[in-house]
Chains A and B, each alone.
Chain A
């Protein structure tokens, strides 16, 4: 595993390489930072910058063709890690190398503007991620069809249920023909039919994409879909290995009994 990461012709056997990555947020205490509170604080001589160590010295590499599950408690840094690999959050130290175009589906859906219809959100998301208008319009129809939302696709997204927007988000991520697919909690709100369809689609993509990342609290789907897993706890990489082992260790750590409910929803 620790041989040359880049071969002579410039291609790599790795899809993603994360090297000693740390991400520290500096944010203010307030939910909404305002000039008024900043002045008040300044008057009192306070400093309100709080450092959040979201990721601490994490290193791992993902080979081509891997499907990696990322597990951990809420706030463990899973989504931060994915955003960093997608180039959205800059590392504080360390580096990330990514070979390929990443498609992200983070925190349920692309729908950022609730006043717009699902289709308009799909088009905007596609254009933002760098596709041309022609490519986007071709795909928007495929995506709309795949979601099976019928007429809802042309209704404002504020009329959607959470499961419906999850469908749109998932469908966008998988239809952008990404080299590296990142899926964050997308399956938790879908119904049985959608989960099955999404699982089938992910299995299909696992063949074509260079790598896949799946963040899920559904430990069952991690075991089923992934051939590798990492476990993050408070920003630290606790374990990496076979999904079975990592999931077992994680459950042991949480001291929860293995039952049907826990494997789907922890």
Chain B
């Protein structure tokens, strides 16, 4: 695993591996990521297989991917309308835009958490960079998110929001959310190996996190909130990412500078920490899964 395996054509130069003792150290990073890249097809195939397993290739499977977030958006819209006692169709567009993106991160994290423990035999019987497993879960989440983009664009058109070339820049924030999810998926996948109830706590954590993110409320409302809440919200990585994303996609306006760099810092920082944490622990997974 630590030594790059060569292609089969190189049968004449037998590959040499030496396995020595190590408990929690990191494998050589360059070799690890080379191997990871070499086997990216595996992550793709694992993700495709799980999509097939969820019947995504059938008509109703596809329809469900669109219906599920729409129903969720409708429920939240009803809730918000009752609480605010006013009906605001423009807010429905904001709600779908940010809820779909938040669901991407949520799915990536929750399915990433159980990805390693759920692939028992594969981890037990094959040596490969384990990081591929949570990354594959993030890929699956992304492909489940894709069908919601046209849905949003239709709602965008119906509610008469502006169309602007700036909307394309929202892809930057989408990318940051994906990178951020990769890091989180790696962290929670590792925790799940040690504490199998992590995945039971996770939904509560994620729900709380959603309430602190600009999904059920618009970023403009932040000014009306108390200092503690404001502090918590601004500390929330999803505030910058979702805020920038909805500013660009929904309003077609440039987000604050702070949102650009805070998103990148959170995404790259979380991915670095998550990957290193995962990699430092992954050689113990086979033992923990027995």
Q: Which residues of B contact A26 (CB under 8 A)?
A: 287
**Whole-angstrom distance from the CB of A185 to the nearest CB of chain B?**
12
Nearest-neighbor residue (CB-CB) of A87 within chain B: B127
- Which listed residue (A94, A98, A100, A131) contacts B21, Cβ 8 A? A94
Instruction: Render A107-143 as a binary contact track against B, CB cut-off 8 A, 1 for contact.
Output: 1011111011000100111011111110100000000
Q: Quick check: is A193 within 8 A (CB to CB) of the other chain?
A: no
Q: Is the CB of B45 within 8 A of A123?
A: yes
A110 lies within 8 A of B121 (CB): yes
Q: Given the interface contacts A112-B120, A125-B126, does A87 sit within 8 Å of B198 by beta carbon? A: no
Interchain nearest-CB distance for B142 vs A (Å)? 19
Interface residue stretch chosen among A32-40, A146-154, A198-206? A32-40
Q: Is A129 a contact of B128 with CB atoms below 8 Å?
A: yes
B35 CB contacts on chain A under 8 angstroms = 130
CA distance A43 to B123 in the complex (A): 33
Known: A97-B18, A115-B53, A127-B45. A88 touches B5 (CB 8 A): no
Whether, in the assembled complex, B17 has its beta carbon less than 8 Å from a beta carbon of chain A, the answer is yes
| In the bound complex, CA of A129 to CA of B41 (Å) | 11
Q: Is A99 an interface residue (CB 8 A)?
A: yes
Q: How far is the CA of A107 from the CA of B18 in the complex (A)?
A: 24
Give A36 to B201 CA distance when docked, in angstroms: 11
With a CB–CB cut-off of 8 A, which chain A residues contact B15?
99-101, 179
Question: Which residue from A92, A100, A116 sits with its C-beta under 8 Å from B14?
Answer: A100
Is B87 an interface position by the 8 A CB rule?
A: no
User: Is A254 interfacial (CB 8 A cutoff)?
Assistant: no
Give residues of chain B (70-115) contacting chain A, Cβ–Cβ below 8 Å. none
The reply to whether the CB of A210 lies closer than 8 angstroms to some CB of chain B is: yes
Nearest CB of chain B from residue A83's CB, rounded to whole Å: 7
Whether B42 contacts A124 by the Cβ 8 Å rule is: yes
- Of the candidates B7, B23, B128, the one whose C-beta lies within 8 Å of that of A128 is B128
Whether B125 contacts A88 by the Cβ 8 Å rule is: yes
How far apart sit A89 and B284, CA to CA, in the bound complex (Å)? 7
A96–B17 alpha-carbon span in the complex (Å):
8
Say whether A160 faces chain B, with CB atoms less than 8 Å apart.
no
Q: Are B126 and A104 in contact (CB under 8 A)?
A: yes
CB contact under 8 A between A34 and B195, given known A90-B19, A90-B283, A96-B18: yes
Measured as residues with beta carbon below 8 angstroms from the partner, the interface class of chain A is 35 or more
Known: A35-B197, A132-B41. A88 touches B124 (CB 8 A): yes
Q: Is the CB of B18 within 8 A of A90?
A: no
A132: chain B residues within 8 A (beta carbon): 7, 41
Cβ contact within 8 Å between B286 and A113: no
**Binary flags per residue of B12-40, CB closer than 8 Å to A gives 1, else 0:** 01111111111100000000000100110
- A43-92 with Cβ < 8 A to chain B: 83-84, 86-92
Least distance between A69 CB and chain B CB atoms (Å): 20
Chain A residue numbers with a CB within 8 Å of B119 are 112-113
Contact status of A179 and B16, CB under 8 A, knowing A127-B39, A132-B7: no
CB distance from A233 to the nearest CB of B (A): 20
Per the 8 Å Cβ criterion, residues 263-290 of B in contact with A are 283-284, 286-288, 290
Q: Taking A27-B288, A94-B21 as contacts, is the C-beta distance between A38 and B195 under 8 angstroms?
A: yes
Q: A95: CB under 8 A from chain B?
A: yes
Please, how many angstroms separate the alpha-carbon atoms of A104 and B52 in the complex? Answer: 27
**Residue B167 at the A interface, CB < 8 A?**
no
Chain B residue numbers with a CB within 8 Å of A112 are 119-122, 125
| Pair A34/B8 contact, Cβ less than 8 Å | no
Q: Is A93 an interface residue (CB 8 A)?
A: yes
Determine if A33 and B195 form an interchain contact, defined as CB atoms under 8 angstroms apart: yes
Q: Nearest Cβ in chain A — how far from B137, in angstroms?
A: 13
| Beta-carbon contact of B39 and A128 below 8 Å | yes
Interface presence of A106 (CB below 8 A): yes
Q: Is the CB of A11 within 8 A of B18?
A: no
A195-228 toward B: CB 8 Å interface, digit per residue (1/0)?
Answer: 0000000000000001000000000000000000
Distance in Å from the Cβ of A3 to the closest Cβ of chain B?
18
With contact pairs A87-B127, A94-B21, A97-B16 given, residues A131 and B8 touching in the complex (Cβ less than 8 Å) = yes
Interface residues of B (CB under 8 A from A): 1-2, 5, 7-8, 11, 13-23, 35, 38-39, 41-42, 45-46, 49, 52-53, 119-128, 132, 194-198, 201, 283-284, 286-288, 290
22 interchain pairs, CB-CB under 8 A: A25-B290, A35-B197, A35-B201, A88-B127, A89-B287, A94-B21, A96-B17, A98-B18, A101-B8, A106-B124, A110-B121, A110-B126, A111-B121, A112-B119, A113-B119, A116-B52, A124-B122, A125-B126, A127-B39, A127-B42, A129-B128, A130-B38
